[in-house]
A and B are shown apart, each in its own frame.
Chain A
Amino acid sequence: MKIESKIYLLIASMIILLSLYLYQQKVEKEYQKELKRYELFQQNASKFISLRKSRENSQRVLNHILKIFNPSLHSKKANFHKIVFKDLNKKEFSRLMGILINSTIYIKKIDIKKIKNKIVLGLEVGL
């Protein structure tokens, strides 16, 4: 091969190598970015999955409360349940409060009044 052809080939291969190197850097950056995005996604996804589980759990607890304590009023608007228990005795009230405090149910509003010997409990809860 002619020496000049070799030199041209060398220059061409240098240009190709440089272009490949620059492109490799670009892809490497892209990969690092994608990796970070992926890790963040995985983190959020596992949080979301556990959140969904806790919501399912909250739903179960709420169903249990509604079944056992039989509220006087119950309405649902969007994700929030408005519940009123009018005739709770002290024992029922303590049990209900224990369940609510130890559950994952979100308490938005709470209103407790004692009328004569009965306790009135108004709740607005979310899952």
Chain B
Amino acid sequence: MKLNFFITKNFNQNIDKKSNLILSPEFYWVKKITLDVRFTSEVKNMAESIFDGTLPKGDFDYKVFKLSKREYILAAYDMKSINLELQKLNIARKFIDKIYLAQSEFSQEGLSVFLDDDFGITFSEGIVLYAPRVFLKKSPYMQEVLKNKKLSSQYIYSSRFSGVKFYDKWLNFLLLVFVLCSFISLVDILKLKKNINFLEKTKSDTISKNSLPKSSFELKSLLDESERYEKTSVDIKNSLDYVSRFPLKKGEYFTYLRFQNNKIVCMLKFKNRQRRELFQKYISKNRKSTIKIELKR
């Protein structure tokens, strides 16, 4: 568990472990304002002009605390000068985990805490004040209060994100790139989805327009079957054509022709034996079809 320290400009303890620091009001400026706006972010946008002319020279950041519906507390702090002050107090940066403002951590109405024999802090009318002890009622000491103190999430610095600020512009750029890429990707997805729908619609239109079988499987099996028929049919016709092209002489004729068991069996009446052999030779040279032609005696 990390230790919590309340830092004043008179702080004289040695910090040698990673700790949380709560800055006393000496380190920042506050202003209580009444504005008719809904969000703290709107107030933050106006912070620079609200503090205009009241702050010393520096690079200020702002934090807004909402008190009531229209009441806000604005805190202005300069991280560079805070870092310099912390260096003066011998607080090494490596031992800082988070830095908080007292304004965010002690905002309980009527709360007072003694810091040492001379000073203390008190919460009055929405603002945490650093005041001489004589003006405060009897209160516990800060060390005791900090022992059980649960800190808020309103820190102004975190070691986890130190150095990241340098890359702020890069972060913005990366964010923009990611958002753009996401948008392009989204558009692409929508385009692809649209294309898929278009293909499906065209398919179903073709089916209904041409009264095709509804499933592709059915269509494919019908085609396969007909292709099989087609191939056999062409083979038979080629063989028949080939046989019928043999030049028969007068008195020669077919007495029988039959297609069975994937072959054509035929019987012919020939004038002599040589003619029969010539026919036999002719049918053996059939290259037009895979169906065999057989001459029967």
Contact = CB atoms under 8 A, between A and B. Distances in A.
Contacts, number: 124
A82 B95 CA distance: 103
B212 A97 contact: no
B158 to A, nearest CB: 7
Contacts of A34: 196, 199-200
B257 A24 contact: no
B232 A106 contact: yes
Interface string A37-51: 110111011011101
Given A7-B171, A44-B220, A21 B164 contact: no
A91 B260 CA distance: 25
Given A10-B174, A34-B200, A100-B237, A112 B257 contact: yes
Interface in A62-93: none
- Give me the 4 closest cross-chain CB pairs, A-B, nearest first: A112-B257, A13-B178, A106-B233, A20-B185
Given A45-B210, A111-B259, 12 more contacts: A24-B185, A24-B189, A27-B189, A27-B193, A38-B203, A48-B210, A97-B244, A106-B229, A107-B233, A107-B237, A110-B257, A110-B259
Contacts of B86: none
Interface residues of A, number: 45
B171 A45 contact: no
Report whether over half of chain A's contact residues are helix, strand or loop; otherwise say mixed: helix
B199 A97 contact: no
A44 B233 contact: no
Given A34-B199, A47-B223, A110-B257, A4 B232 contact: no
A31 B196 contact: yes
B75 to A, nearest CB: 15
Interface in B251-279: 253-260
Contacts of B174: 10
A4 B162 CA distance: 10
A104 B195 CA distance: 39
Contacts of A13: 175, 178-179, 182
Nearest to B193: A27
24 contacts: A3-B165, A3-B171, A4-B158, A7-B164, A10-B171, A20-B182, A20-B186, A23-B189, A24-B185, A27-B193, A35-B199, A37-B216, A42-B206, A45-B212, A45-B219, A51-B223, A104-B233, A106-B230, A107-B236, A109-B259, A110-B257, A111-B258, A113-B255, A114-B253
